[in-house]
Amino acid sequence: MTDSKAEKDSLWKELKTSWSVLKRESGADEVAKGKAKERINEIQEKLKLDKTDWNTPRSGPPGSHLTKAGASSNPSDKLLIEKVLGTVLDAKRILAEEFITLNQRLTTLEKMMESCGCKCASTDCCPTTETPHD
């Protein structure tokens, strides 16, 4: 196990680089990929991580071989649905609040019109006028 933070950071960076060699688009040959797998296991041991078993065939969704529990069938879909639902619920809450505010203003306006002495609906009605406008 490593002790210093700098050494751990360096190992994590090297681990990331070693994993990138295994990607299809890396263009690395089988020898380079084999060396990368060995180095990955060495780093995982130093960092006290679960070592990757390269002989176990992949089954399940991408990333499930890295955890004991496995991954959901399509984790990105679940996250997207949660994000969309959160957005919809926020929008619904905002609309409900605006509806309440609008309804309160409408009620206030109706009360003001009822208290006005005239029977017209004109906005330029003067409350000091004694004769109602038609």
The single-letter code of the amino acid at 49 is L
Give the separation between CA 74 and CA 24, rounded to whole angstroms. 21
Give yes or no: residues 9 and 52 share one domain: yes
Would 132 be classed as within a structural domain? no
For residue 95, what pLDDT band results from cuts at 50, 70 and 90?
very high
Average pLDDT over residues 11-35: 86
pLDDT reported for residue 72: 53
Give yes or no: residues 16 and 51 share one domain: yes
Would 63 be classed as within a structural domain? no
How many C-alpha atoms does 92 have within 13 Å on its Cβ side? Answer: 6
User: 10-38 burial by CB neighbour count: b if 16+ within 10 A, else e?
Assistant: ebeeebeebbebeeeeeebeeeebeebbe
pLDDT reported for residue 104: 95
The CA R_g of the chain, rounded to the nearest whole Å, is 34
The residue among 121 and 57 whose pLDDT is bigger is 57
Average pLDDT over residues 80-105: 90
Would 127 be classed as within a structural domain? no
Would 26 be classed as within a structural domain? yes
Q: How far is CA 36 from the centre of its chain?
A: 33
